[in-house]
């Protein structure tokens, strides 16, 4: 990686931190409530190393194996977290349990049961977020949650997921639709927060604190609506050079 892209990643990273700070401040929140997940999917290991040099510690990957290879290559570096944020195929469930510190994209009971079983075998509990589709776009994964009347129908699934002993529920995750104006994503973030409040009212004993929402194009609005984790790739690392469509 040349000096120019190193400097670029450092200045992008610092600018994003400032934008997080600013968005939190305008919402009367502390920036320390918002964790920055640097999304390295499609970027080479050198980009991860530059992000570490800039100060990043939490990384997000979409493809189980791509992330596992990077995590392995970085294992000498203490204090890193690897978050799986993409669709998990059931045959990758074991790898996810072995490799990742968090899963943002838990989207159905079948996957939850598999993960629970592998987590037991690996001997650790996996922190998870429930991915929710709050836009109704067919291309999106997640629980069908785009209208409030659908929410009670989710409770049967959710009650079974939160009962799994080797998964640790912490909250919800969503992806807003790609829209021309960042502001247009705000209603989807608001809806995810309301859905979280709905689950929290039904299951007050479960931890629903985390809201993973907001990407490069829309994270300030997500933070103003309560995001506790933002997943940012392009704004820090630039466009993805190779998008590996295998997983």
CB of 215 to ligand PLP, least distance (A): 4
CB of 231 to ligand PLP, least distance (A): 4
CB of 156 to ligand PLP, least distance (A): 26
- On whether the CB atoms of residues 115 and 97 are closer than 8 A, the answer is yes
Which positions lie near ligand PLP, rule CB under 6 A?
A: 39, 41, 62, 85-86, 175, 215-217, 231-235
Rounded to whole angstroms, how far apart are CA atoms 13 and 27?
A: 21
Instruction: Give the CB-nearest residue to ligand PLP.
Output: 233
Residue 205, number of CB atoms within 10 A of its CB: 6
Q: Which residue, 88 or 162, is less far from ligand PLP as judged by CB?
A: 88
SS3 60: strand
Q: Which residue, 127 or 166, is less far from ligand PLP as judged by CB?
A: 127
CB of 142 to ligand PLP, least distance (A): 10
Q: Which residue, 84 or 195, is less far from ligand PLP as judged by CB?
A: 84
Rounded to whole angstroms, how far apart are CA atoms 126 and 106?
A: 11
End-to-end CA distance of the chain: 25
CB of 105 to ligand PLP, least distance (A): 7
- Strands (DSSP E) contained in 85-193 are 102-106, 126-133, 143-144, 167-173
Nearest CA-CA partner of 164 in 99, 211, 117, 223 = 117
Q: Which residue, 170 or 231, is less far from ligand PLP as judged by CB?
A: 231
């Amino acid at each position: 990686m040349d000096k120019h892209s190193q400097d670029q990643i450092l200045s992008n990273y610092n600018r994003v931190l400032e934008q997080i700070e600013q968005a939190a401040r305008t919402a009367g929140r502390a920036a320390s409530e918002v964790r920055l997940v640097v999304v390295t999917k499609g970027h080479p290991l050198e980009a991860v190393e530059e992000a570490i040099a800039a100060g990043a510690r939490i990384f997000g990957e979409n493809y189980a194996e791509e992330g596992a290879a990077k995590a392995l290559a970085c294992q000498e570096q203490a204090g890193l977290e690897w978050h799986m944020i993409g669709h998990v195929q059931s045959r990758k469930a074991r790898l996810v349990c072995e490799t990742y510190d968090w899963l943002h994209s838990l989207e159905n009971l079948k996957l939850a049961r598999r993960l629970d079983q592998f987590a037991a075998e690996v001997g650790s509990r996996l922190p998870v977020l429930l991915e929710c589709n709050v836009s109704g776009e067919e291309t999106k994964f997640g629980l069908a949650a785009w209208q409030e009347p659908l929410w009670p129908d989710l409770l049967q699934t959710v009650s079974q997921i939160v009962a799994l002993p080797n998964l640790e529920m912490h909250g919800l995750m969503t992806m807003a639709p790609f829209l021309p104006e960042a502001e247009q994503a705000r209603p989807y973030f608001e809806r995810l927060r309301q859905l979280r409040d709905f689950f929290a009212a039904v299951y007050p004993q479960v931890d629903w604190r985390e809201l993973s929402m907001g990407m490069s194009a829309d994270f300030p609005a997500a933070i103003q609506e309560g995001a506790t984790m933002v997943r940012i790739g392009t704004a820090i690392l630039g466009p993805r050079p190779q998008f590996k469509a295998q997983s």
